Amino acid sequence: MTMAEESNCIFCKIIKGEIPSAKVYEDEDVFAFLDLSQVTMGHTLIIPKVHQKDIFHLEPEIAAKLFKHVPVIARAIQEAFHPVGMNILNNNSELAGQSVFHYHIHLIPRYGNTDTFSFSFQPHTDDYSNEQRSKIAAAIAEKIR
Ligand code: 5GP
Ligand code: ZN
């Protein structure tokens, strides 16, 4: 990460109060605020205060401090607005839909089939044998450190 990346980062500016935001929660490690786009009402972002651009750069210790707030803030949204459910997601890389390169978790409350969120998994279950699945799992497993 270069200083330029951090000083041009819109979320770093939000943390510093240089850009206004609708704050939901703040402590020394994390900041949570409403996503401007409000994909559904209550759509909230949780970010680490340190500038780390995506999941591939997020330090596990920072992640631990960040992720522990996810269920707490999810339940707060649930109590406030009574959604039926919630999608929690994080985009990494432009290809995957990331547009702000400061790591963030989206909490998107779901109010029903006709709410304004759309997302779909496209299963390819039958395209893989169990042996292929085992080989894929082993390739990942051997890289975990
Ligand atoms: P991404 O596309 O990187 O997963 O998500 C970035 C999110 O940041 C978008 O949903 C977008 O609406 C939100 N966003 C971008 N600029 C601002 C801003 O200045 N303030 C707030 N509150 N949200 C922003
Ligand atoms: Zn940043």
- Show the domain range for 111: 3-141
pLDDT at 26 (0 to 100): 98
> Ligand 1 centre and the CA of 127: distance in Å?
36
Q: Which residue has the tokens 């009574």?
A: 82
- Is 84 touching ligand 1 by the criterion CB < 6 Å? no
Q: Is the pTM of this model over 0.75?
A: yes
CATH classification of the domain holding 12: 3.30.428.10
- Average pLDDT over every residue of 20-25: 98
- Kindly state the tokens that stand for 111: 């109010």
Q: Using the predicted structure, report yes or no on whether residue 86 has a pLDDT greater than 90.
A: yes
Residue 91 near residue 98 (C-beta atoms within 8 A): yes
**CA–centroid distance, residue 79 to ligand 2 (Å):** 30
The three-class DSSP label of residue 58 is: coil
- pLDDT of residue 5 exceeding 90: no
Give the closest residue to 84 by CA, choosing from 62, 125, 117: 117
Residues 103-145 have pLDDT tens digits of 999 999 999 988 889 888 999 999 999 999 999 999 999 999 9
Count: domains in the chain: 1
Residues 8-29, mean pLDDT to the nearest whole number: 98
- State if residue 19 touches ligand 1 by the CB under 6 angstroms criterion: yes
Residue type, 103: Y
- Residue written as token pair 């680490």: 48
Q: Which residues contact 76 (CB under 8 A, 6 or more apart)?
A: 24
